C-alpha cells in the first residue's frame, strides 16, 4: 500500500512539474512573472475602486452634514419662534469650508413709553458633539465656525435665513454646492424649507 502511494506521487510530480529536470522543484521565471503581473493588475483595479468609493462616501457624509445643519436651524427657529440664519463659507473666506449659525435676538432700551425694541442677528453656537469647530471673537462677539469634514469644499458662500411662520417656514431658497476632488454634490432648500439632496 505504501509503495503504491509513492508511485502515484512520483507520477503526479512528473506530470505537474514535467518541465523541470528530475530532482528540481519550484516555478519557472515566466510563471512567477505572470503571477506578479496578475497580482499587480488586481491591486491597481482594487485601489482605483477604493479611491472612488472613498470619495463617494466623503461626499455622501458632507451632504448629510449640510442637510442636518439646515434641519437643526429649522427646528431651533420653530422651537424658539425666532429667525435663524445659516452662513456657509466658501474656500475663499477667513474660515474656509465652514458654516455658522446666527439667531435673531431682541434688544430693548429704555422704559415705556420711550421703550425701543430692535432685532439683531447674533452669532450663536449650535454645534453638536464631535463637530470640528473654530471659535473666534470678532467685534466683541464670539463666532463659532463648524468645519465640513474630510476636505470638502463649499464652492460659493451661501446665506440661508429661516423664519417660522405659524406651522410653516419662510426660507431664503438657495443651494449649497459641495466638491470633493472631481466629484460634486448639492443640498438645496426651497422657500418653504423642503430640503433636496443631489
pLDDT digits (tens, 9 = 90+) for 162-176: 998 887 888 889 999
Q: With 70 as the cut, is the pLDDT of residue 5 above it?
A: no
d(CA 173, CA 196) in angstroms, rounded, equals 11
- The C-alpha cell that represents 16 in the structure block: 505537474
d(CA 151, CA 97) in angstroms, rounded, equals 8
Are 70 and 99 in contact, with CB atoms under 8 Å apart? no
pLDDT at 47: 75
Q: Which domains does the chain have, with CATH numbers?
A: 49-197 (3.55.40)
Mind listing the pLDDT tens digit for each residue in 87-132? 999 999 989 999 999 998 877 777 777 777 777 888 888 888 878 8
Q: Which helix (H) or strand (E) holds 186?
A: strand 183-189
**pTM for the predicted model, two decimal places:** 0.71
- The C-alpha cell that represents 148 in the structure block: 465640513
Amino acid at each position: 500500500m505504501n509503495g503504491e502511494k509513492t508511485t502515484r506521487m512520483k507520477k503526479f510530480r512528473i506530470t505537474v512539474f514535467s518541465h523541470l529536470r528530475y530532482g528540481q522543484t519550484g516555478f519557472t521565471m515566466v510563471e512567477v512573472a505572470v503571477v506578479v503581473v496578475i497580482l499587480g493588475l488586481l491591486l491597481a483595479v482594487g485601489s482605483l475602486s477604493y479611491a472612488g468609493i472613498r470619495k463617494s462616501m466623503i461626499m455622501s457624509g458632507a451632504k448629510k452634514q449640510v442637510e442636518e445643519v439646515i434641519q437643526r436651524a429649522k427646528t431651533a427657529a420653530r422651537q424658539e419662534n425666532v429667525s435663524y440664519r445659516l452662513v456657509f463659507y466658501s474656500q475663499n473666506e477667513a474660515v474656509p469650508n465652514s458654516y455658522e449659525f446666527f439667531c435673531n435676538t431682541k434688544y430693548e432700551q429704555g422704559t415705556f413709553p420711550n421703550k425701543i425694541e430692535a432685532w439683531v442677528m447674533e452669532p450663536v453656537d449650535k454645534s453638536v458633539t464631535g463637530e470640528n469647530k473654530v471659535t473666534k471673537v470678532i467685534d466683541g462677539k464670539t463666532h463659532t465656525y463648524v468645519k465640513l469634514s474630510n476636505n470638502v469644499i463649499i464652492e460659493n458662500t451661501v446665506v440661508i435665513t429661516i423664519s417660522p411662520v405659524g406651522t410653516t417656514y419662510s426660507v431664503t431658497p438657495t443651494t449649497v454646492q459641495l466638491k470633493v476632488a472631481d466629484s460634486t454634490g448639492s443640498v438645496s432648500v426651497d422657500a418653504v424649507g423642503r430640503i433636496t439632496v443631489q
